[in-house]
């Protein structure tokens, strides 16, 4: 069968990883709207979902300390990472914003600096600067096609992966993913989703055979022992992304990204980090949001993954 979704395949059942009843880490409030960015709501309504405040974005240590632990001595001097367990970890940040001076650019800079300070090895795939190709085409296959009569992207990339025939840019990204302990995706929300260039990265890099395979999906996915974290900004404020808000619960947006992509490939999911409406808040609030991201990163390795099951998103 060519596709993992074929009928004879039986994905393993979703295992409850942990149940922390964690909320969505968020940075502040603010107004704004989608996607025309209307003015800020001066008095945002309370958000009726359990969302921890910005400055305390990271969930408490608890049992989650297990996740960041590795056997053997830590390679970096203790002063680099006291209390973080980050030393020696490899982090890949896949970044999708055109402008380094943007708020996303500042969030990226903070992550690189803070994680490096902890002794992590940080790699950034800056997709716009790389001019990353988002289109899934036959150019992704080097050499002969498995079936040149009728092109099937999923089959062809799967076959090409097995024979080492994927294009160079994909091989390079897959190597970065393979080496990473943590994948951070940093981007502005575009149409309730990630920007096309990042979606293209998902489409092209996470091919069958590499990220998942026949019946090797969800908890059985091929990218196990990795963590992921979606860090993004919005135009709309938190009141818009509440269950009663016009945009609906922000978790609905997270379902395809976290569950449909990361969990599908076996990657565990940390709480997302959401900075609401940075364009529509004061400079002071923006600084607070950036400081909250720094704070969260300081204890990131103590966090437990969310329980990435339908209940987390739709209950």
Interface with ligand FAD (CB under 6 A): 34-35, 37, 97, 102-104, 106, 188-192, 233-236, 278-279, 283, 286-287, 290
> Which of the choices Zn ion, ligand FAD, none does residue 10 contact, using the CB cut-off of 5 to 8 A by kind?
none
In whole angstroms, give the CA distance from residue 72 to residue 92.
Answer: 23
Which one of ligand FAD, Zn ion, none interacts with residue 194, CB within 5 to 8 A by kind?
none
C-alpha separations of 124 from 27, 107, 175, 224, 236 in Å: 23, 13, 13, 21, 27
Nearest distance, CB of residue 257 and ligand FAD, angstroms: 13
Residue 180 CB, nearest approach to Zn ion (Å): 19
User: For residues 14 and 34, which CB has a smaller minimum distance to ligand FAD in the complex?
Assistant: 34
Residue 236 binds: one of ligand FAD, Zn ion, none (C-beta under 5 to 8 A by kind): ligand FAD
> Could you give the CA distance from residue 18 to residue 157 in angstroms, rounded to a whole number?
34
Q: Which does 191 bind (CB under 5 to 8 A by kind): Zn ion, ligand FAD, none?
A: ligand FAD
- Minimum CB separation from ligand FAD for residue 77, in Å? 29
In the complex, least distance from residue 59 CB atom to Zn ion, rounded to whole angstroms: 17
At 296, give phi and psi (nearest 5°).
-60, -40
* CA distances, 287 to each of 69, 220, 239, 255 (Å): 32, 41, 21, 29
We find the least distance from the C-beta atom of residue 308 to Zn ion, in angstroms, to be: 3
Question: CA triplet 260, 262, 265: central angle to 5 degrees?
Answer: 95
Instruction: Determine, following the binding rule CB under 5 A, whether residue 308 of this chain makes contact with Zn ion.
Output: yes
* Alpha helix ranges (H) inside 144-230: 153-162, 168-179, 196-205
User: For residues 16 and 91, what is the distance between their CA atoms, to the nearest angstrom?
Assistant: 25
Nearer to ligand FAD by C-beta: 9 or 102?
102
Least Å distance, CB 26 to ligand FAD, is 13
Quick one: 263 or 296, whose CB is closer to Zn ion?
263
Binders of Zn ion in range 237-296 (CB under 5 A): 259, 263
Query: Angle, nearest 10°, between helix axes 283-298 and 103-117?
Result: 30
Q: Which lies closer to Zn ion via its Cβ, residue 184 or residue 292?
A: 184
C-alpha to C-alpha distances, 186 to 14, 44, 195, nearest whole angstrom: 27, 25, 10
Q: What residue 308 binds from ligand FAD, Zn ion, none (CB within 5 to 8 A, per partner kind)?
A: Zn ion
């Amino acid at each position: 069968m060519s596709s993992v979704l074929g009928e004879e395949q039986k994905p393993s059942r979703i295992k409850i990883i942990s149940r922390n009843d964690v909320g969505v880490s968020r940075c502040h409030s603010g107004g704004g709207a989608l996607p025309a960015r209307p003015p800020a709501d001066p008095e945002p309504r309370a958000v009726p979902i359990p969302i921890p405040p910005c400055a305390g974005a990271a969930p408490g240590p608890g049992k989650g300390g297990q996740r960041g632990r590795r056997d053997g001595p830590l390679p970096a001097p203790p002063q680099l990472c006291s209390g973080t367990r980050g030393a020696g970890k490899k982090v890949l940040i896949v970044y999708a914003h055109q402008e380094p001076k943007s708020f996303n650019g500042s969030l990226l800079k903070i992550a690189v600096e803070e994680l490096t300070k902890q002794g992590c090895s940080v790699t950034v795939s800056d997709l716009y600067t790389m001019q990353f190709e988002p289109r899934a085409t036959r150019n992704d296959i080097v050499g002969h096609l498995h079936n040149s009569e009728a092109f099937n992207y999923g089959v062809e990339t799967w076959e090409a992966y097995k024979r080492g025939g994927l294009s160079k840019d994909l091989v390079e990204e897959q190597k970065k993913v393979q080496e990473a302990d943590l994948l951070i995706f940093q981007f502005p929300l575009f149409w309730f989703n990630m920007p096309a260039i990042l979606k293209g990265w998902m489409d092209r890099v996470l091919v069958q055979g590499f990220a998942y395979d026949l019946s090797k999906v969800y908890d059985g996915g091929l990218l196990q022992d990795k963590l992921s974290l979606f860090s993004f900004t919005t135009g709309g404020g938190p009141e818009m992304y509440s269950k009663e808000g016009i945009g609906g619960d922000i978790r609905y947006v997270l379902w395809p990204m976290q569950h449909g992509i990361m969990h599908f490939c076996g990657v565990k999911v940390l709480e997302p980090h959401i900075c609401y409406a940075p364009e529509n808040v004061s400079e002071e609030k923006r600084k607070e949001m950036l400081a909250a991201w720094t704070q969260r990163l300081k204890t990131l390795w103590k966090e437990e993954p969310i329980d990435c099951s339908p209940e987390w998103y739709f209950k």
